[in-house]
Amino acid sequence: LLPAATQFETRGSVTASNRSLQWREQIVAPLFESKPDHTIIAMFAKKFGFDDKLFRNIAVEDGEPNIEDLTREFNRGMWTIGYTGQSPERMKMHMENQHTFDRTTLRALGGPADGEFYGMPWPAWGTPEMNHPGTANLYDMSMPVAEGGLTFRARFGVERDGENLLAEGVYSVGSEIQDGYPEFTMQMLIDLGWDSDLTDYERAVIEWVSGFRDTRPGTEEVGETTMTGERPSDYVNQVGGVNWKTDLSGGIQRVAIAHGCAPFGNAKARAVDWTFPDPVPLHREPLYSNRRDLVADYPTYDDHKFWRVPTMYKSIQENDFSKDYPIILTSGRLVEYEGGGDETRSNPWLAELQQNMFIEVNPRDANNLGIRDGADVWVEGPEGGKVKVMAMLTERVESGVAFMPFHFGGHFQGEDWRHKYPAGADPIVLGESTNTAQTYGYDSVTQMQETKATLCKITAA
């Protein structure tokens, strides 16, 4: 267990669910022996002997990689989603001028960030020097791409089974291509006659990416090394395949946007996803289901390997756990706490509001099980994990369903582990973690774990 610092103890960028980035400063120095994540990574890299390669473009000061340099590096490496235009300098400027942004539209009204959306929600296309304002609302074709508008991405080819996948007759305001179009490549720029808009440096980088040039150009060299006169006959064949995602100069993105187009194309949204296990969404019963009649009609997948990792589906679902574990168990959030809860349960004002880990049980189930409101109960999952929590009788859950919050920790299967915390580091409120009683399961597309629903049995403690 590594002593990683909280986000109060470090600085750098954070990204919100609306895709805006924000720069935040360190509030307190790391407590005890804790260190920021990037410092721990640097220590590993040094121990393993590749720190010189990992941080060749990043300054390291007293063992801590410079967070501004780290930000510039991920800017350079995330073309595919437009996570590239939000430099440390631009984010800090937004923070210093928060008062100039409209709280509804997020757009700055005057000031140094005039016209930009707060935090430059990605995609903020191209390099930071392009000063793209960010995209507050995805796929808003009512404004130019250069001002934050966008089309739907041409991500899945241009046709499928003879059906056109590109947009038909719709496009963003100001687009010079007034129809659907695929993602931009150097070939497209040449065909449209727009490649002449590239700077010498941008063209040279594209040539280097394609293999037409042997060495990567620097901005200071381009004037001397840019090709003049006629190009070789195979020039287009060599450079044409470089696209907006692989052009490290950002030139293809810049030129496409200058002509009112989205670098990633203009296509239709798809309702049939032929790359997913279920091209059209189907209901499939959970691995641990108490509806065996539905399991027969809506079975899960066969066991499968994802990236060489065996993943179980059918071999679990074919076992009926519902006789011993008849109640559906779900987990979720409380408004008082956040995440695993260690930080928020250490806040005295919040801790006062939720002092006990609990399970919500329907009164009918509680009466059948001989459980009283406020009494301790055991909640056991089908894989044997169990937690000791307080019963809360409520009709907020249906009979046959129970709910536990996931913000607690510090107790384990009935034992109080407060003594295991460093002195002064234990949260005010401790409790069982619901995940102790949760069970196996992975999503068939993302391989994310199932930690929100299973079966359980509840008994008086």
- C-beta separation of 217 from 201 below 8 A: yes
Between CA 110 and CA 234 the distance in angstroms is: 49
What pLDDT sits at residue 224? Answer: 42
What pLDDT sits at residue 152? Answer: 96
Between CA 292 and CA 241 the distance in angstroms is: 53
SS3 377: strand
**Predicted model pTM:** 0.78
What pLDDT sits at residue 398? Answer: 97
Q: In sequence order, what are the residues at sequence separation of 6 or more whose Cβ sits closer than 8 angstroms to the Cβ of residue 304?
A: 310, 311, 313, 444
What pLDDT sits at residue 84? Answer: 95
For 291, 368, 415, 448, the CA distances from 331, given in Å and listed in that order, are 19, 22, 21, 16
Between CA 101 and CA 120 the distance in angstroms is: 12
For 6, 68, 230, 287, 352, the CA distances from 397, given in Å and listed in that order, are 35, 48, 75, 21, 24
User: What are the start-end ranges of the E strands in 417-452?
Assistant: 431-432
User: What is the topology classification, in CATH, of domain 327-460?
Assistant: Barwin-like endoglucanases (2.40.40)
What pLDDT sits at residue 229? Answer: 55
What pLDDT sits at residue 5? Answer: 93
Classify 7-136 by CATH class. Answer: alpha beta
What pLDDT sits at residue 389? Answer: 98
Q: In sequence order, what are the residues at sequence separation of 6 or more whose Cβ sits closer than 8 angstroms to the Cβ of residue 325?
A: 288, 290, 380, 381, 382, 455, 456, 457
How many CB atoms sit inside 10 A of residue 390's CB?
17
> Does this chain's domain 7-136 share its CATH topology with 327-460?
no
Query: What does the domain layout of the chain look like in residue ranges?
Result: 7-136, 159-258, 327-460
What pLDDT sits at residue 225? Answer: 42
Between CA 444 and CA 460 the distance in angstroms is: 37
What pLDDT sits at residue 1? Answer: 83
Between CA 118 and CA 19 the distance in angstroms is: 10
Between CA 328 and CA 400 the distance in angstroms is: 6
Give the helix/strand (H/E) hosting 197.
none
Q: Which of 201, 210, 196 is nearest to 239 (CA)?
A: 210
The per-residue pLDDT string of the chain (461 residues; one tens digit each, 9 = 90 and over) reads 889 999 899 999 999 999 999 999 999 999 999 999 999 999 999 999 999 999 999 999 999 999 999 999 999 889 999 999 999 999 999 999 999 999 999 999 999 999 999 999 999 999 999 999 999 999 999 999 999 999 999 999 999 999 999 999 999 999 999 999 999 999 999 999 999 999 999 999 999 999 998 888 875 544 444 455 567 778 888 899 999 999 999 999 999 999 999 999 999 998 899 989 999 999 999 999 999 999 999 999 999 999 899 999 999 999 999 999 999 999 999 999 999 999 999 999 999 999 999 999 999 999 999 999 999 999 999 999 999 999 999 999 999 999 999 999 999 999 999 999 999 999 999 999 999 999 999 999 999 998 889 999 999 99
- C-beta separation of 136 from 128 below 8 A: no
What pLDDT sits at residue 222? Answer: 44
